[in-house]
Amino acid sequence: MAERTSLAGVAERPASADHAPERAPARRERDLLPAIEPERQVDDWGRSERVEDFFDKTLVEFFYRYWFRAEVEGIENVPASGGALLVSNHSGALPPDAAVIAKAIKDEHPSPRKLNVTVEHFFKGYPLFSMLIPKIGCVAAHPANVQRLLFDEEQLVLVFPEGRKGTEKVFSERYKLRRFGRGGFVTAAMRAQAKLVPVCVVGAEEAAPIFAHVRPLQKLTGLLYFPLTPTFPWLGPLGMLGYLPAKFRIRFLEPIDTAELGADPDSDRALVQSISQEVRARIQENLRDMVGKRRSVWFG
């Protein structure tokens, strides 16, 4: 997260009520967003409805409905309007969790919304990924991007605070959350005055387990990591999609309203850290609950 030092904000942290008049110019900023041109099939972020629909109707549909047989709890915790930051645990060699969460909101939510998934900058430099990733609704995890999506465009954004530390963990460490970065996601939500929705995903760890990492091959290929999974690298690059048919359960938890916390996270790092830890603890707790109640990895 960019550490912007604002001296003015240190002195007082306005309560949300006092803050309303100050937000007037920001409203104006929102009005100045480019108008949507209906003739276009790609939006300003590079997201393409056509490409998204294609994957949604084929690959994602197949995995979501028939392969993972995903079940969703607490979908009503995803707000129907306004910006909201979804925070989830992250796992799997080529993580299937983001696509499944996006599909859940699209299919199960009473007012389906588009989900923007933040991904590492790494993908932007990699041929083909660079082309495909933005088309299906992924944006680089830059604080300015998250702020624009959450605050200006009032959209849903999904972050994985564990980042690659979550996806690279090996099978024996499943469902043990890694550290949640430096609380950047809390900072982002506070700045944008957006709700924080913790999300728990069970099943992704077993769908794409990693047995070991091969560092020399990682260096050679320039990939983020080079895992050994049941199908990769034995079946070539497509082996990354060789998911095992684990049963998926997604639970959306009660949202945290950051509007009450004030819009200046820089003045109170302790608050940011404690919220970050609280979110992490709630996700961990619910993961244990879900894994504990699960009778079978494959049949749920």
Q: Quick one: 90 or 135, whose CB is closer to another protein? A: 135
Q: How far apart are CA 265 and CA 170, in angstroms?
A: 34
Q: Quick one: 21 or 34, whose CB is closer to another protein? A: 34
Q: Quick one: 35 or 270, whose CB is closer to another protein? A: 35
Q: Quick one: 3 or 260, whose CB is closer to another protein? A: 3
Indicate the burial class of 271 (C-beta count within 10 angstroms; 0-12, 13-18, 19 or more). middle
Q: Quick one: 80 or 144, whose CB is closer to another protein? A: 144
Q: What is the CA radius of gyration of the chain?
A: 19
Residue 44 CB, shortest distance to another protein, in Å, is: 4
Residues that bind another protein (CB under 8 A): 28-29, 32-35, 37, 39-42, 44-46, 48, 121-122, 124-131, 134-135, 139-140, 142-145, 148
CB contact at 8 A, 51 and 134? no
137 Rama class: left (phi>0) / alpha (psi -120 to 50) / beta: left
Q: Quick one: 222 or 236, whose CB is closer to another protein? A: 222
Residue 40 CB, shortest distance to another protein, in Å, is: 7
- Of 133, 208, 129, the residue nearest 166 (C-alpha): 208
Residue 211 CB, shortest distance to another protein, in Å, is: 30
Question: CB neighbours (10 Å) of residue 106?
Answer: 16
Residue 139 CB, shortest distance to another protein, in Å, is: 6
Residue 28 CB, shortest distance to another protein, in Å, is: 7
- Of 123, 109, 124, 115, the residue nearest 97 (C-alpha): 115
Residue 142 CB, shortest distance to another protein, in Å, is: 4
Residue 258 CB, shortest distance to another protein, in Å, is: 21
Q: How far apart are CA 147 and CA 4, in angstroms?
A: 13
CA-based end-to-end distance of the chain: 38
Residue with tokens 């605050």: 151
Helices (H), 94-163: 97-108, 129-135, 143-147
Q: Quick one: 48 or 229, whose CB is closer to another protein? A: 48
- DSSP letters, 263-279, are S-GGG-HHHHHHHHHHH
